[in-house]
Structure 1
Amino acid sequence: MPHVRLKRLKIAAARADFLRFGRAETDAVPSVVAASWQRSFTAGVNAATAQAAFHADLDMSSRLMRCARPVIARLGDEMAQMPLSIVLTDNRARILSRSETDRTIARQLDDVSLAQGFNYAEGSVGTNGIGTVLESGQPLYIVGPEHFHEQLQPFACAGSPIRDPLTGRVEGVLDITCLSEFASPLMHSLVRSATHDIEHNLLADRSLRQQALFDTFVRVDARSRGAVMAVGGTMVMGNAAAQNLFDMTEQRTIHEHARYLMLGAGTAADHIELSTGRRVYLHGKRVVVGSDVAGIVLSVDIVAEAVAPVAAQGAAPSGWVQDPAPAGPAGAPGTPQRGPSLLGKRAVEGVSRALVAGTALLVVGEAGCGKLSLVSERYRLEVPEGRSVVVRCAGPDRANLTDARARLAPARFGEARGTVLVIFTNIDRLDAVGVLELEAFFVELAASGSPVAMAATVSQDSVNADLPFQQLLAHFGQAVTVAPLRHRVEELPELVAGLLQALPPRRGATLSPAALRLVCRYSWPRNIRELRQALEFALLRRPVGEIQEDDLPGHCHSGAERLLTPLETGERDLIVSALHDANGNRVHAAAALGIARSSLYRKIKSFGIDAA
């Protein structure tokens, strides 16, 4: 169409004049585009060399993502015959998702970093169908030379702001991008229609989730004479009793624990101790909408008021955060560290009660979170005259019962005063034959009449699985769950100090503040065991003095939400090393690795590398 081509030529000439003289005196340029050029110029955007910045801190589970996903999928199916890309961003112009109908345009968009994690704010890359939409607050159709950056001129973009129907706040932008030669004004209508559908989903989602949470809160409050609280998403509610009974610090503790219960499995009930010393019982009802948990409504009862602290020799520690380590005298490197973690305190108290009462104890938790150490150390403190025997059930076929029988022989009970605690580790790994053999051993212990107590550890993932060990659970009278390290982050400083003191050769090494912040940001999927290995690695690099960020292994710089394969782990460590050698310069790191900058950014995001 000659008139379309002529219009674009006039806009291109106007852009050239603007870049040369700082103004565009022509009616060929839409006013909204001319204003955007001026803002881009004022912001210092280089029309030839500007590059989009990358951000790793994206919320990929947001309400916007959830509500936009089906609309984007439907739009992609409808436009499958046209080579285009559908982009969703947050309200800061950071790209959350990109889907395309053609591989060719995907490669071209990679070249201009129009990919997940990159920021297309107007102040970064100039006039475009994302950042300019956010600046103007209106749907826009930006074609070819209307883009401020010359690398974007081959494209046509139609973008529309996505607003929360209740608050009116812009939540993000939906953008359709194609090559200029395939551009059509219908793109503008398509993106506006799709945006309307997303906004409808936002309204329905907020209404359903909030209404379900509110309705449940009202029902529970009507039946209760005590404190009732509701927590879900950004909503927190509490009745008059909750406001009057608990101060703001106590309420915040209850809210945080409510979120832990909300995302957990099993009954949402727990006893917790507040910072004021009061103990409360929480009994919650999870509110489920579709397949998602929208929130939780809690009844909160005060079980015990705070009492004045009484100094007592050998008092139980307030928290526990140590992994298996050689037992030693109180205060030795193997002694558990104290910490303020509410979940750590709960585990300590539950284990201590069972051991003192002689109740057969089942300890549940993720691998490496310190289940064995917790039981061993608490038994040493609570029953100092006793001794413990560990029976490892690491093999799939049988437990190591031969050694246990020798150590528990009646003739040997006279060698030590008090009871004996037998700790069976990883009983969930046994097959049917191993379970039958262990059950026979349980019966043998019970019939011996010897002063023997029993505890066992199992993996959290195995509790609800249909595995042979389930028939052994009838032999246990109490269960305690040890929370993973990622839910006990406040314990990390003292835990790190204790591990560094215990690790040979004990040269008094410490972590720098920056290294400690890095440790606290990492999720530690293998828990304390992985933390110990990371510190051992760091000590090889810096045997004495203050351990720095770069001394820690590559995975500590990672916030990946999945377990990486061995190949990915090696690739991640190479990237971390290259970034370190380039002093954080990603362009130089990409060149050293021999990969495109956009590929490096995607890998940084995929591996969760902290490259700030």
Structure 2
Amino acid sequence: MGYEIDTRDGVARLRRARELFLTDRILPEDLPSWLSAAWRRSCFAELDVTRDHVPAVPVSLETPLVRAATPVLAKLAGDLAGLGAAVVLSDRLARVVGCWADEEAVGAHLARIGTRLGADLSERSTGTNGISHVLATGGPCVIGGPEHLFELYQHTVCAGAPVTDPVTRKVAGAVAVVCELDAPLRVLHAITTTATGAIERELVHAASAHEHRLLEAYLRAGPARHPIAVLDGRTRLVSAAAAGLLRPHDIETLESYAIEAARDGALPTTELVLDDGVKVHLHPTLPGDSRGVLVVVESPRPRPERRRARLSLFAGAGLSGGSPAWRSLERSVARAGTRPMLLVGEPGVGKTEVACAVLGDPVVLDAADDDGWLEEVGKALAQPARAVLLRHVERLRPGQAARLASLLTEDHPGRVIATLTTGTRSACAEMLRTGWAPVEIRVPGLRERTADIPELARRFGGGVHLAQDAREALQRHDWPGNLTELKAVIASARAEAAGPTISARHLPRRLRSSRAHPGLTELEKAERQAISDALLAANGNRVRAAASIGIGRATLYRKLARYGLA
């Protein structure tokens, strides 16, 4: 006797197996291996199977997938009228981007199970289901009733199939036919696979039309007269003149901006200076269409020798970049000259590396709790023509901070830079600002300079190259650990790849499923940052992080999923 969901005995056996697993974490030996593995993953993710709702996140409905699928699935829903079935479309992150139901009862069923626009049907949110399993395996499936651990889905069956992007050949989303458990199941698989085939044919036409528009924009810009390029992250059209000015690394950087523009619906900047001093201007290929960037390249202009030397110091520290945020840091450091500086920023952004690049070979002193540390600072400052780096001054007690500020204002030959980590509720920061009055410079977080990730990955990985899918995954991630986290990820991926090219499959799973976070309010952004800081302070321990910010563990897990920090 098996565990088939289309027989009464099979459903009864599945219910008993599910109950045994939920109460005692015991799995029957003859339970299908794919189902055992799915239930174990849900257990590991601490899925709340009794939760009475499905979380929802903001989603974009203006995507090639939604445009191609809407006419196909709307017609399919009409054809299914009378069968008690609805049609659901998800993106590649298992977020619902379309629901079609031509019967009132079917719409009511979708409402009961929380399936609506934006619903997060990922495995970590709702356990295994007909959409999350499709996206995890890349193949069609039918999952019903007690095969779901999630309580809301116990009387639901879902037949899902993947939609493959005809250009990239990657899974772009999933289509599912959803109905009550007692509905006829024989034709569900055929229906979904037929629908996905029709959607993929529509995507082929859409891709061809988009590429045609890119070509039109390229020709209209005059490639014979100007150094130009048109990029969308997958297609690149580069004139001969632009090819002579742009290195392969520059093209990858510009493609990163194109990916960000498509993701966020707007260009992150309109002007950019690349590493060799080449200046480029970025424009949308078409008004209102962010799925393509027109790049107009200017000939490089000579820069003052002193500025080039300073930028080479940053490059030597493995911290060079062409993003607007990094260029702004470089300009701030240049304007500060030899004046004392206070470098502030999140953990892992590279404050120490920036300071060492500026100072050369400084005496490095980490702030300590004992008062003897101040004596060491005084001795270092007294050394002629010696630079001093004071790290982690946020650790100082208020009295120590006041004495340090007084010490730094005295006459001494040493040049001083101090670093202060933000989010630590330090009482000494204001004392140093007022008592010492350094030039305060903020070092940007990695999430603010994702265009620099390909170059940083090359430096951290000893020359590795990021494939497009890896670059997209890394640029979607929010990087709470900043450069420290990126170094660890690249080292792990380099070992996994066993070669010079890193693809998405070599990255940790948490990065392959990272998502962007558009549309957050200022309050939500502050809450997300507070949770990220708490996790860093607790070294990833979620129980301690929840206690430190005064929320329950279940609430923390919901917010981790909501903000993509899980």
Q: TM-score range by the shorter chain?
A: 0.3 to 0.5
**Largest Rg, 1 or 2:** 1
**What's the TM-score, normalizing by structure 1?**
0.45
**What's the TM-score, normalizing by structure 2?**
0.48
